[in-house]
Structure 1
């Protein structure tokens, strides 16, 4: 039996060229639904945010929209279709994904494994960091944190003690011991994404937790064909763990952390039902509005997609007015 630490096991299971989960032809959408797939209102809110970034930057000649963890480019294409003509002429679209470029993707959409550097605009990472591979640790009988090793069938055992960097991360960001998901690789990945912006706004959206409420038993799980599954690192399922977004925040930037529910409400997404009087004056319009309200309610449901957290960091610009100071925002220390 071959044992590996969790980080290389996840990397191999999700991203290997010859059968990694995220390189399969069906893509992520074949196994689970993100906010992008749930409703076009999500892309519309992101497009409104891009317009707010454009205004805050003073309407630069070239405005970047960078979609990190782009899947098969669904969010990029949706934003592309929603851009007003005046903005469309200046926007440069770029999807960031390890999988191969999808066939038929429009030529004006860039595609690469790393974010483009030196751009001004909006970098948006929806459900990306939860799939950045990380190590997992557990305490031994003496309370010493050790790396967890995993076999191809998902069986686990304890391995070596943590190295100095991971031990320091655990002390600072995951107090209390227990099963610990060591977020250093995610912190580094997010720092690289934020650092790619010359000016603009970087947004990470994920299921998350903060230092005062870390899950004592961890969150690593599998997902296959729309259902939770055992986290087996054989390439047959997604492997995902919630994100310590407070640890990932890059120091030195205006930073806020909130829920998707609060952020989308600020960006004009509301689950309010249309007035019943519309059913009499415009029955078809009422049904459309009712359907839209249902989609908005799904996006903002605090027990579902609305429970995602948004980490927002501004690079050489202020946080846009429609988000700054929103009730429920937590400003993180630099």
Structure 2
């Protein structure tokens, strides 16, 4: 089998990594984990800072938001794709008590989620380009009884875990690779077009078409006024890693990407290809494409008009928050992540 098939089986198959392992045991992300609420709070602050004005300062609680009669008083609905242990949703429940909160993940709901959080055990299937429920049957993002109205959809380090094909340049064209080397198969026409447009000078490339299709399909399914935020590590055409960038993580260590069900297999996102794909969806417009370090720097230059509850705590909490902001802004680590923010249709 090629890399996409092997990756799918080892990561998202019935006994794959995402069904049996706890992500926090293997890697750390900007969203932190249940044991680092300060990191998650600062990450949420950065997320709120890039939203349109009517969302950024609206808590949905009495006494906040827009004047009575203004339709923007309707509390936003936050959807966290790849919600893992629910850290971001917990932070949002504290900071924005009036928001409707939804977590989407292949795993069952973690224990002790706030009662305002709705959990959806859904899986994005790159093979069919659609969502499936726990029963394996097709569904939509939040199931048949999902909320009406605009959504704020956040995919934090979700796209990089979607399996994709890996191709190698040869004297006669591109050839697909598997974990054990060349397969002898050529990419299909759509993959070949993607490679022509986005591979750059790289000799080995993760074909980002599965990620592009996922993000564009999600955008196309959202009602007007929705916002999409993809936050992930990635690269541009001009700096694609020459020999590819397929990675493995296990027990906090960077290891070979072995499809054994115990290793988190991941690959950076082709940021420019992803942005181009979602911007081809009718009505979608770009709000921001920037490094996380830039987002954090911009945040540091502003005084939040609607501070998070953590701001009202003790000086020690403020010091911890400042340390977390520095970690999130570090361009050599978490700050290297890309933020892609897009709006769907007219703002409500």
Alignment TM-score, normalising by the size of structure 2: 0.76
Question: Paired residue for 2:72?
Answer: 59
Task: Provide the rounded CA distance (Å) in 1 between the counterparts of 2:149 and 2:26.
Answer: 33
> Given that residues 257 and 309 in structure 1 are in contact (C-alpha distance below 8 angstroms), is that contact kept between their aligned partners in structure 2?
yes
Question: Paired residue for 2:10?
Answer: 13
Question: Paired residue for 1:279?
Answer: none
RMSD: 2.5
Residue 50 of structure 1, CA deviation: 5.6
**Cα deviation per residue 1:270-320 (whole Å; 9 max; x = unaligned)?**
9xxxxxxxxxxxxx73x54433222111000000101100011111246xx
Task: Provide the rounded CA distance (Å) in 2 between the counterparts of 1:146 and 1:269.
Answer: 48
Residue 55 of structure 1, CA deviation: 6.2
The 5 Å alignment of 1:246-261 reads 246-249=272-275, 250=278, 251=280, 252=282, 253-255=284-286, 256-261=288-293
Residue 107 of structure 1, CA deviation: 4.0
The 5 Å alignment of 1:32-181 reads 32-37=27-32, 39=39, 40-49=41-50, 52-54=53-55, 59-83=72-96, 88-89=97-98, 91-112=99-120, 113=122, 114=131, 115-116=141-142, 119-140=149-170, 142-150=171-179, 155-181=180-206
> Given that residues 221 and 241 in structure 1 are in contact (C-alpha distance below 8 angstroms), is that contact kept between their aligned partners in structure 2?
yes
> Given that residues 138 and 158 in structure 1 are in contact (C-alpha distance below 8 angstroms), is that contact kept between their aligned partners in structure 2?
no
> Given that residues 15 and 21 in structure 1 are in contact (C-alpha distance below 8 angstroms), is that contact kept between their aligned partners in structure 2?
yes
Question: Paired residue for 1:203?
Answer: 229
- Consecutive unaligned residues in structure 1, runs of 5 or more: 271-283, 319-334
The 5 Å alignment of 1:249-328 reads 249=275, 250=278, 251=280, 252=282, 253-255=284-286, 256-268=288-300, 285=315, 287-317=316-346
State the secondary structure of the residue aligned to 1:59: helix
Note closer, same or farther for the CA distance 1:248–1:178 as it changes in structure 2 (3 Å cut).
same
> Given that residues 293 and 329 in structure 2 are in contact (C-alpha distance below 8 angstroms), is that contact kept between their aligned partners in structure 1?
yes
Aligned length: 290
**Cα deviation per residue 1:170-222 (whole Å; 9 max; x = unaligned)?**
00111335101111100011112222321221110111111222111111010
Match of 1:28 among 19, 23, 42: 23
**Cα deviation per residue 1:129-185 (whole Å; 9 max; x = unaligned)?**
100100000123x241011022xxxx3233211111110110011133510111110
Question: Paired residue for 1:240?
Answer: 266
Task: Provide the rounded CA distance (Å) in 1 between the counterparts of 2:4 and 2:149.
Answer: 31
Note closer, same or farther for the CA distance 1:257–1:245 as it changes in structure 2 (3 Å cut).
same
Residue 268 of structure 1, CA deviation: 4.6
Note closer, same or farther for the CA distance 1:10–1:61 as it changes in structure 2 (3 Å cut).
same
Task: Provide the rounded CA distance (Å) in 2 between the counterparts of 1:258 and 1:206.
Answer: 11
State the secondary structure of the residue aligned to 2:194: helix
Question: Paired residue for 1:328?
Answer: none
Task: Provide the rounded CA distance (Å) in 2 between the counterparts of 1:159 and 1:119.
Answer: 48
